Structure 1
Amino acid sequence: MRKFVKMLLAAALAASFAAGLSGCSVSREDKDKVRDLEFQVAAQGELPQELSKLIAQKVSQPFKLTYTDSQNLYIAVGYGAQPTGGYSISVKELYLTENSIILQTELMGPEKGEDPGTEQSFPYIVLRTELLEEPVVFQ
């Protein structure tokens, strides 16, 4: 009887392990790039008023948000309060997969030799791209 229970447990573990592996492969396929997305960095004056208000409310803390109007998708990423000025944000990747939009950004600090000042800054970036329905995955 014990041998039967051990075999049953082994079979259950093998089945759950195989199911876990197949789940991983599906996730990897979801992230396969369909195409890169073209975008523009939207200046403060180019943003819809409602989006500007949302950013103003969130800028002191890190944030990630999306906003759409009738023509564009706006993707905003903020890094919250930084101790000085001189920070910039680099867009590493923005691409479409079968089920989502992938965005990877990076906060870069003041360059050596640059005078960043002494006041806090609140770096953020807003990207404007084509209007798409897929959810955005921030990395």
Structure 2
Amino acid sequence: MTRNIKTCVIIVGWIAVMGILGGCAVEKEDEGKVRDLEFTVVSQEEQPDALRDVIGEKKEKPFQISYTRGEDLYIAVGYGEQESSGYSISVNELFETENTIVIDTTLIGPQTSEQAAQVASYPYVVIKTEGIADKTVEFR
């Protein structure tokens, strides 16, 4: 009789574990993606003065800023103080979902063959897209 109870407990345990694992799902990151967005990288001279001022205040620490002017949406991503020069930022994706604009960026370090100046730098990128000023920006 005890053997039957042990067998039942083991079977019930496995069923419970399989039920828990079966309930787990991986959500697709780009679910709800409506379309990719076109953008331009904006030089410091082309940035609106108000945005440039905010970046100047925040550049020492990582930051994520969205700024609208008329129909233009500016998105700025900064990676804070770095110990040397030679960093760049890659915009991996910029796309629209039903309710948001999603931006994904990566900080790329100096090449090993590159002679990076050992002076602090504050890498950031500012991009501009048009006609999407009314949506929340999600940073990845």
Counterpart in 2 of 1:135? 136
Counterpart in 2 of 1:37? 37
The offset of 1:30, in angstroms, is 8.0
Counterpart in 1 of 2:74? 74
Which blocks of at least 5 consecutive residues in structure 2 are unaligned?
Answer: 1-19
Counterpart in 1 of 2:112? 112
Aligned sequence identity (%): 47
**Alignment partner of 1:122: what SS?**
coil
Which blocks of at least 5 consecutive residues in structure 1 are unaligned?
Answer: 1-16
Q: Which has the higher helix share?
A: 1
Counterpart in 2 of 1:11? none
Matched, 1:93 2:93: yes
Q: Which has the larger radius of gyration?
A: 2
In 1, Cα distance between equivalents of 2:30 and 2:91? 21
Deviations 1:56-109 (A, max 9, x none): 000000000100101310000000000000000000100001111110000000
Deviations 1:6-48 (A, max 9, x none): xxxxxxxxxxx9xx98xx89x8698421000000000000011
What is the number of equivalent residue pairs in this alignment? 118
Q: Is contact 1:82-1:122 (8 Å) kept?
A: yes
In 1, Cα distance between equivalents of 2:50 and 2:126? 13
TM-score scaled by length of structure 1: 0.78
* Cα root mean square deviation, aligned: 2.1
